[in-house]
Amino acid sequence: MVGEKQETLVAAGLRPGGCAALNLPPSLAYVANLLAVWRIGAQAVLLDHRLTSYEVDAALERLGVQVLVATGSTKGSPLNVFHDVTETVTARKGRPAATSHAVLQLSSGSTGPSKVIGRTAADLVAEVERYTRIDGVPLSGERIILLPSMVHVLGLVGGLLYGLHAGVELVPPRRLTGDSILEAVAAGSAPATVLGVPFHIGLLNSVADPPKLPQLKRMTTGGELVPTAVSSAFDQKYGVPLGNMWGMTELGVIATDLFGEHRPAVAPAPGIEVREVAGELLIRRAESPYVGLSDPARWADGWLHTKDAGRVDPDTGLVTVLGRLDSQVSVGGLKVDLTEVEHTLTELPGVAAAVVLYDKEITAFVQLTGDATGESVEASLAERVAGYKRPRTMHFLTALPRTTTGKLVRDRTVLRDTVQ
């Protein structure tokens, strides 16, 4: 398949040093075209298939893409995790790749416009090797039940590339539901690790009476912090380790706790150096990962600024991520950590997810579940959080908006539009 795609791409004008964009859902077509682009020696630009035409066109022009591989037709339900795709290949008046990066990705944009992030072949290989040195990762002959998109770093490196390298079978469930995920685990006899994000934990927790699955080895989650109530519910329901990973598109995996021993802390992955400066977590990186001018607030003097608040234990080296650095605000001269308020909210009965931000006043957007009501949540919060910390406005929704990687959107404009 890769050979066939390679011939088609070359016929469209793609050459070594060229630039091709993939705008495909997770599918065999996506995997084969990605490997074909790399086999040619070209740069792959990964565009999430859920982007609008406007967003895709803007990215193509900005990056000078020469060949676009997009969806011509697809079969099946939108809820499918892996799609049956027939692609189209279109030559464009672009330009050769401006950098030597093997892949360009757009950050998820959970707090604003996307950034263009480049990763070299050596960088990707180093991350795959980093996975092989982490205790608890799936081993040769085992299976990964793959839930995150392979367009983004967790699914791309932690799923596709690591799986190909280590001889681990990748198994996407038929549909993105809790029952379908468990069916994928039960479909084989080899040990299985479910790889996903906190949203996927919620899907599994929603299964009323899950079957006994001796094949289920663990679940590993990346992305945002997992609320204590969510992790406790998973532990009680499935009785297998719920591992946690912390990473960024810029670096891939940074720190892990795959056995759930240190929650909420994680241990830096082999070869990763983390330090805490003025409450911010910094990662050593020799070169800027950003394509174009590098913002010194993001990378400077060999250190990547994560913009995550956290602490590093001086004795154990364990890292605790406390949330976004900009989550502290002053209310009437008193400091309020919005992350603390958000975490308290998510631990309340009936709260599936929450975003707390400062929009002229402390404002909360809360996703309810079960029989919970706005009144019951507000009453419970009043028992746990001081008055000056509590949100002045609370919006209760059936679903909070999420990015293409499953993270909660924190953009004020998007959240306001959701309420309206």
Among the three residues 325, 348, 373, which one is the final residue of a domain in this structure? 325
CB of 28 closer than 8 Å to CB of 1? yes
Domain containing residue 137: CATH number: 3.40.50.12780
Burial bucket for residue 386 (CB in 10 Å: 0-12, 13-18, 19+): exposed
User: pLDDT at residue 247 above 80?
Assistant: yes
For residue 35, give its domain range: 2-98
**Residue range 335-349, pLDDT digits in tens:** 787 887 888 898 888
Q: How confident is the model at residue 372 (pLDDT cuts 50, 70, 90)?
A: confident
Q: Cβ distance 238 to 194 under 8 Å?
A: no
Coil, strand or helix: which one is 382? helix
**Cut 0.85: pTM above it:** no
Mean pLDDT of 73-95: 90
User: How many whole angstroms separate alpha carbon 145 and alpha carbon 240?
Assistant: 15
Model confidence pLDDT, tens digit, residues 379-399: 999 988 888 889 999 999 988
What is the per-residue pLDDT across 166-198, written as a single tens digit (0 to 9) for each?
999 999 999 999 999 999 999 999 999 999 988
Give me the number of domains the chain comprises.
Answer: 3
Residue 323 pLDDT > 80: no
Q: Of 48, 63, 145, which Cα lies nearest the Cα of 407?
A: 48
Side chain identity at residue 225, one-letter code: L
Q: Is residue 73 part of a domain?
A: yes
33 Cβ contact list (under 8 Å, min separation 6): 5, 9, 22, 24, 69, 87
The answer to the question of residue 363 being in a domain is: yes
pLDDT of 242 reads 95
Q: How far is CA 96 from CA 14, 65, 88, 122, 197, in A?
A: 9, 8, 21, 20, 35
- In whole angstroms, what is the distance from residue 120 CA to residue 106 CA? 15
Residues β-bridged to residue 22: 46, 69
Query: Which of these three, 98, 133, 160, is where a domain ends?
Result: 98
109 pLDDT band (50/70/90 cuts)? Answer: very low
Residue 111 pLDDT greater than 80, yes or no: no
Same structural domain for residues 347 and 280?
no
- 126 and 273 both lie in a single domain: yes
CATH number for the domain spanning 90: value is 3.40.50.980
Whether the upstream peptide bond of residue 349 has omega within 30° of 0, thus cis, is: no
pLDDT of residue 293: 66
The overall average pLDDT reported for the chain is 90
Nearest to 135 by CA among 331, 280, 267, 313: 267
